[in-house]
Structure 1
Amino acid sequence: MHRTETRHVSVEAHRDKVRALLAPLLTEARVERLPLLDALGRGLAADIVAPLDLPPFANSQMDGFAIRSADVPDGGTELRVVAPVPAGASPVELAAGTAAPIMTGAMMPAGADAVVPIEQAVPDSFPVPGEPATVHLPAAAAGTFVRDAGSDIRSGELALGAGTFLGPGQLGLLAAMGYTEVPVRPSLRVLLVTTGDEVVEPGSPLGPGKIFDSNSTLLESAMRQAGLQVTRTGVSADQPDELTELLRRHGPAVDLIVTTGGVSKGAYEVVRQAMADHDVEFGAVAMQPGGPQGIGSFDGVPVLGFPGNPVSCLVSFEMFLRPVLTELIGAPAPRPSVRARLAAPLTSPPGKHQVRRGTLAPDGTVRLEGGAGSHLVHALARSNALVHVPEGTAVLSAGDEVEVWIL
């Protein structure tokens, strides 16, 4: 049977509840191995240890001449040019008193310990291979323009930790180490249900007292962008029995149910009514917008109940579900968090964590878009950031610093 909290809980406390609700989904059985490119945007499921040194051999950082540094005095000297070393070749040992033309990335010959760039040579061009030639080179200390074996990572070192978000850089590292596939956490399957007698699908006739459903598109796009697999049912009317039947029909095929609307204390709160015989808690989080929240399980399937106003439901996703997914499964990537200066003053309820929408400018200032209202979809569409005003802060002046999450 659902429970109702009478006090406001903090944002952090509710996020802890969401984390505890979803943590059981992380089991050994819920790991899959994917080819590297198919793993883009996923969270790494296990530690990855480097199986070899990177680079695997000492190589040249420049096009130039490989030398023994001891052969060249401070004033420079003339050296006999030997066979060139192209990238991919396995060169012979460099004899004393000689210089080998070497290409960027090519293996350093045994005995060579420095590279002189071609631009510093006289003449500053490579001789024709096979023809006798000499070159005048300046002195170079050992290690100059040489990439040592293992200078990036050593064999046996931790390359990527479990929970790492797999972007292009991480997949590139795995490829450089010879991996063709990687263990990842599967993306969660989410049932998204929007409720409300007043809500109609876009494209339908808009009668008196009706509004078009923006929540489904808003949340589904946010979820898909975060890597979730979304099943969208369309708008569910304010009929508890119909909602219960819908959840029972789709619930067994998903990992998580997310509803929007019907979680406040009004007379027609359909989600509350449908959850009456289930372990779901409804209460208020000390946050504006997005205060009313539901959390629990329906027939064993985790449930999150978000408020019905569009901005409220998106802020709920960004504050609770998205960061918990990042913590637990490594995906999506965390929102970049920066400090920015307010372009104008603001006020905030002192007992709530306020989340305002804003535009972060290149000069490090953030301009608020619209007011604090949870219905301002146009202001949300103009925004590129969420502006955080922590609980206990009632007034901030222009120029004051705030935490900003970049969208």
Structure 2
Amino acid sequence: MRITIIGAGIVGLSTALHLRTRGAEVRVLDAGAVGRGASWGNAGWVSPGLVVPLAEPGAWKHGISAFTDKNAPLSIPRITPSTVAFLAKFASHMTQKRFDAAIADTAPWTRRALAAYDVLAELGVREPVVRADYHLGADSEDVVRAFEHEVEVTGATGVDIGSRRIDPAGLPYFSERVTHGLVLSGQAFMDPGAYTADLARVAREAGVEIYENVRIIAGHEGSRKVGLVDTTGEVWSTDSVVVAAGAWSDAVLEAVWGRKSRTGQGSGRGYSFTAPVAEGHRPEGPVYLPAQRVVLTPYQDGVRVAGTMEFLPPDAPMVPDRIEGIVRTLEPYVEGVDLAGRTDEWVGPRPVSTDGRPILRRVGLRGYVCTGMGMWGIVLGAVAGERTADLVLGN
């Protein structure tokens, strides 16, 4: 069986490697370079205990601030019919019952998340997934209590996460504005760009063919094969297709199987940059400010700072004000982080499902799609590869 995977991010590459180790002939096509989509510039969190739907109860308040506060973590710069349709479905899930149900339904993925990365290490991936505690900081008791409730809900599904209160004054990277703190255990992090590149190396060595700068714009599913057409007019014939193109997945699905095959997910773009850190102020593990929706992850000699959720098409140009908004929001809460000396400013689109659950399903007779993981594509990337390979091979 020859299987073609569209998308060379962490989901597509892990799927490719699992299919190849089970005997399939596999090739991967990506419209750009390996791992340069949402898999590159994100925060690198492998945090199964924090996987919760974006559509949390009361999140409609962020929708209001998206139009009134330029520093708000949620931004909706452009209203289109497709945006309205997505947001309407998205808002319908902002109830406690649906929020808790989505956490429970995703728990089989999250319980397996770290073990799935251990399997990739056994298959030859050398780039580390570093086990570490996460430090959460807040300026109010209410924020910490709300987060403790989320931890309780997630932990009740069997996902490994523990929490305990700490005095944030003992952490050198928090300013005096941070008055409440938590330590979250059972989590990990990575350098996502380096990890994806190493995963591609292992896949190639296993016999996976990877083609960059191949954008699929049309296709047809026949009775025995699927034909994919790229921008140069070349036709790629294959037995089955896995669409793992992140926020671009719906465009591929529509091009090959028609509009009814689309998932209806949104393109929730995140921003990041790298900041130098003064000696003695670099955290040992990830840091989260939940009220501000900003995260910091140890990265090279400094930290990667990431945040915001901006609903725009995946290929829209960067909006510099979003970076400035993250800086203005973060600055009062940290010490020793040189935000003015930032580099590697980046924006990448995350595929956000309307109900907060990953999307994995069959399309037509010979197609499959795995997408919709929102901010949790890195956490769930390895287990998504296992489950997609199971589905394609009939397990």
Structure number with bigger Rg: 1
Calculate the TM-score normalised by the size of structure 1: 0.20
Structure with greater helix share of residues: 2
After TM superposition, the score normalised by the length of structure 2 is: 0.20
By relative contact order (CA 8 Å, sep 6+), the higher-ranking structure is 2
